[in-house]
Amino acid sequence: MATTPQAASKSPTIRRILREAAEISNSPSADYTAEPLESDLFEWHFTLRGVPNSPYSEGVYHGRIVLPPTYPLRPPSFRFMTPNGRFEANREICLSISGHHEETWQPAWGIRTAIVALRSFMITDAKGQLGGYDTTEAVRRRLAGESHAFRCATCGRTNAEIIKECEERAREACTSPSDEVQVPEELNLGFRDELEARKAQAQAEQQRREKQEEAAEVAQLAEGFVQTGPVSPAVAPTPTSPLSPVAVGGGGAGQRQAAQLGRAAAVPQAGAISTNSPRRPSDEGVPVWLDRLIVALVVMLSALVLKVLFGV
């Protein structure tokens, strides 16, 4: 059963397609045009002028766009019908805006944005991508000169006739170059390997920043370190007042921490045993009187030896 206009207008995809077609018609450009077929809203034909100051600058190229049923959630597919020396004719193009890379497509872009990006991709290198190929500049200039006479069997007009109508509509609408759609930054990279290279570069930069932040945090902790274990007498620091700041690593955090530890050490803790109390005679385990007795016996023995030897 055929779909009635009332039923079709309730479809978000159909409403989106009709809105985009009206936008391109009401804001014409002298460099490109696109519109859906009367028999199928999901198939569009586009015509665009070659990029200035390039081997394609004198050319006009015709192509076909096929929208998926879930557009704009999924990207359209593109193919050129006019031989151009950059993309293979009548073969789907593998780019970041095409159906071959759904992960890079954004539903907010739309057909106009995709056409502007597709036009800018013509001056990039093919790099062996699907639907693209490299040839000499002379061949591309020759194909550009021949492109005006190309006639689409579906549209029934030549490229020269279509682009002339674009220029007339743009002149009547007083469209200026400032009104043109700008290519999003994400679409400046047409191929997946370039997108992945940009992503890898961003990840490497993020890892580098994380390492720098970690090193800065370690250095900050080192500056605020205060030694709490026993210190060798050979490297013992000069005694300081418990309430005076201690220069540790030259950092303000270390000085405050050392001052707090000094104040804590100045207040005796309950139940703590002082290590600075005078030593008692019995601390070494030998009574004092025994030491004195040994000394007296040594003196007496020395006197007896002298008496025997010298008769004193």
Report, as residue numbers or ranges, the catalytic residues.
Answer: 94
Cα distance between residue 247 and residue 259, in whole Å: 10
Contacts 24+ apart (CB under 8 A), 144-148: 144/50, 144/55, 144/56, 144/57, 144/58, 144/59, 144/84, 144/85, 145/58, 145/59, 146/83, 147/59, 147/60, 147/61, 147/82, 147/83, 147/84, 148/59, 148/60
Residue 220 identity: Q
* Three-state DSSP class for residue 160: helix
> Do the beta carbons of residue 95 and residue 118 sit within 8 Å?
yes
- CA dist 108 and 68 (Å) reads 15
Residue 50 and residue 109 in contact, taking contact as beta carbons nearer than 8 Å: no
Distance between CA atoms of 263 and 259, rounded to whole angstroms?
6
Q: What share of the chain is helix, strand, coil (3-state, %, to 5)?
A: 45, 10, 45
SS3 call for 78? strand
